Structures are given as structure tokens and as C-alpha cells.
């Protein structure tokens, strides 16, 4: 059996298994409050949504559109919040297309832990660029990814494509 080593994933694995601390907050709310968008990987903000790189991406260019208000489900979000999120999603797809030239995208929200949500309490949508021959969705299921660039490089490429 061949193996691909991805030691950077250990940070995620260890954090996922750690018990929540009393001071643990929502990662998205914490990012919004941080004051340094680049450090926390926020690419864009609008009144009701924001675009952030996934810290543990399935592919280069994997971003998330997050509703700014702390709500956990589509049912809790207002139509204005969902509208902002869809506009942000469209801008993200355009930027990813310009920066990476993918052949397609996976776009979706995992609603609830049983559906695969890693961050259950704050509504967000994943946008994962896809290329012909990229092993389909196996990296998502097999938990192994090989990424050709760092998050800093991805941030810079998408930020430029968004017109910053």
C-alpha cells in the first residue's frame, strides 16, 4: 500500500479530539473579531457574510462563505444574509476561476454533525475547486490531500483575483 504523509493534518486531528475549553469560542466569530484579516485568512467581508480560506483545505483554493451573524442552520438565516452569502459565493467562484482555472467546483453546506459538519454552530458553505483527474472526491473521504502551495500563496492569489 502506498502512503502519502500529511503531517500538517495532525494539528486538525489533535484539535478535533480535544475537549472544548471554557474559553473556546466560535472559530468564525473569533476570526471576525481578530482585526487582522490576513492573519486569520479572511479574504473579503460584506455586511452579512465573509469569505475565508479553509485552514485545512481539500484543494488549493478551498474557501468558505460564512454568514456573519452566529447562526447554525439555513433555517435560522435571514433572506438578506443568504443573499449576501450567495453574492460572496459568486465572487469566490469567479476569483477561484481566474486564479486556478478549475474544471468544476463542489459547493455545499454540511448541516449538523451527522452530515459531516466540523463547525456545527456557525453557518458556512464550502467551495472546493476541482480538476479533471484530481481523484474525484476521494481526498475528502480518504482524509489525505497533497497541496501544491501554502495557505499564504493561496491567500495572495485569491486576494489578487478578487481585485484587492
Catalytic positions are: 124
Residues in the chain: 164
Read off the C-alpha cell for 116.
459531516
Contact 23, 109 (CB under 8 A): no
Contact 92, 65 (CB under 8 A): yes
Contact 129, 105 (CB under 8 A): yes
What 8-state DSSP symbol labels residue 114? G
Whole-angstrom distance, CA of residue 10 vs CA of residue 13:
5
Contact 126, 107 (CB under 8 A): yes
Amino acid at each position: 500500500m502506498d502512503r502519502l504523509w500529511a503531517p500538517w493534518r495532525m494539528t486538525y486531528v489533535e484539535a478535533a479530539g480535544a475537549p472544548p475549553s471554557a474559553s473556546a469560542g466560535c472559530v468564525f466569530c473569533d476570526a471576525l473579531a481578530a482585526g487582522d484579516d490576513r492573519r486569520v485568512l479572511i479574504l473579503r467581508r460584506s455586511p452579512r457574510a465573509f469569505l475565508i480560506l479553509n485552514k485545512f483545505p481539500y484543494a488549493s483554493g478551498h474557501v468558505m462563505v460564512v454568514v456573519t451573524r452566529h447562526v447554525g442552520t439555513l433555517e435560522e438565516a435571514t433572506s438578506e444574509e443568504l443573499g449576501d452569502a450567495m453574492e460572496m459565493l459568486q465572487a469566490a467562484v469567479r476569483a477561484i476561476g481566474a486564479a486556478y482555472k478549475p474544471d468544476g467546483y463542489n459547493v455545499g453546506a454540511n448541516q449538523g454533525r451527522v452530515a459531516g459538519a466540523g463547525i456545527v454552530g456557525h453557518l458556512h458553505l464550502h467551495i472546493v475547486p476541482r480538476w479533471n483527474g484530481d481523484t474525484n472526491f476521494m481526498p475528502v473521504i480518504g482524509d489525505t490531500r497533497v497541496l501544491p502551495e501554502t495557505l499564504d500563496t493561496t491567500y495572495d492569489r485569491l486576494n489578487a483575483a478578487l481585485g484587492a
